[in-house]
């Protein structure tokens, strides 16, 4: 049992085969968002029901997406990264081509 006040860092979710890290560029409504992915594709992504009311997604959030096999321009969001996880991904070199666009 961990000591009081000491929290363990959860394991970092890294992209597996067939998954890509992306950044949310636009909220479209009805559980759809546009995501600019690490492979420089812009995909229409679906927010699954498990995220809808538990984890809010905003523009500028880093997400892990799984592109569809039969339509590569579409994908499902698999994971939403928190700020500390994004810092760890940057340190480990998983995020190279993505930077949030400043307006």
Flag whether 6 is in a domain. no
Q: Report if residue 83 sits inside a domain.
A: yes
- pLDDT for the residue numbered 103: 33
CA distance 6 to 71: 45
Q: Is residue 85 part of a domain?
A: yes
53, two tokens: 């009311």
Q: Does some domain include residue 9?
A: no
Total number of domains constituting the chain? 1
- Tell me whether residue 13 is in a domain: no
Taking the C-alpha atoms of residue 24 and residue 17, their distance in angstroms, rounded to an integer, is 21
Q: Could you give phi then psi for residue 88, rounded to 5 degrees?
A: -65, -35
C-beta of residue 56 within 8 angstroms of C-beta of residue 26: no
15 part of a folded domain:
no
Range of the domain at 63: 20-92
- CATH code assigned at 26: 2.40.50.140
Kindly state whether residue 4 falls inside one of the protein's structural domains: no
Give pLDDT, residue 10. 75
Summarize pLDDT for 37-90 with one digit per residue, the tens. Answer: 998 889 999 998 888 778 889 999 999 999 999 999 999 999 999 999 999 998
Q: What pLDDT score was predicted for residue 23? A: 95
pLDDT score at 102: 41
Tokens 């690490």 locate to 38
Q: How far apart are CA 74 and CA 47, in angstroms?
A: 12
Q: Give this prediction's pTM.
A: 0.83
């Amino acid at each position: 049992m961990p000591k009081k006040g000491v929290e363990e860092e959860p394991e970092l979710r890294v992209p597996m085969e067939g998954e890509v890290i992306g950044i949310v560029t636009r909220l479209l409504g009805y559980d759809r968002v546009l995501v600019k992915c690490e492979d420089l594709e812009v995909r229409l992504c679906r927010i699954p029901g498990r995220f809808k009311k538990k984890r809010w997604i905003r523009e500028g959030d880093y997400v892990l997406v799984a592109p569809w096999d039969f339509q590569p321009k579409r994908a499902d969001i698999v994971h939403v990264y928190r700020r500390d996880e994004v810092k760890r991904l940057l340190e480990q070199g998983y995020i190279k081509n993505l930077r949030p666009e400043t307006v």
